[in-house]
Amino acid sequence: MRKGIAGLAALAQDVLRQNPASGAVFAFRGRRGDRLKLLYWDGQGFCLYYKVLERGRFPWPVAGDGAARLTSAQLAMLWEGIDWRRPDWGAPPARVS
């Protein structure tokens, strides 16, 4: 997680073969899984968001070609540390008559 904006933009372009200024959000997770960086081009410049979980790890999708595409809902859950692949919503509350 040493790379900054320029290094992450270069990874998006060279490794993922994507235009980092396309408006897509690029997510990078640290080796231990407790750190996440999001890189986004807002039309004027790059924004870099960085989050470290105090407990647990960020879920990470399996990417066959090196890149995974997430919906906006999946990205929001990823940022919150929620594993959208195995939601544990629990049983609905029992009705009291």
Tell me the per-residue pLDDT of 15-24, one tens digit each, with 9 for 90 and over: 989 999 999 9
Task: Count how many Cα atoms sit within 13 Å of the Cα of residue 50 in the half-sphere of its side chain.
Answer: 8
Residue 56, domain member (yes or no) = yes
> Domain span at residue 34?
5-80
Number of domains forming the structure of the chain: 1
State the pLDDT confidence band at 97, using cuts at 50, 70 and 90: low
Residue 89, domain member (yes or no) = no
- Tokens found for residue 59: 């879920």
Tell me the per-residue pLDDT of 32-87, one tens digit each, with 9 for 90 and over: 999 999 999 999 999 999 999 999 899 888 877 778 889 999 999 999 988 877 76
Residue 96, domain member (yes or no) = no
Q: Which residues contact 8 (CB under 8 A, 6 or more apart)?
A: 20, 26, 28, 37, 39, 48
Global pTM value: 0.82
Residue 45, domain member (yes or no) = yes
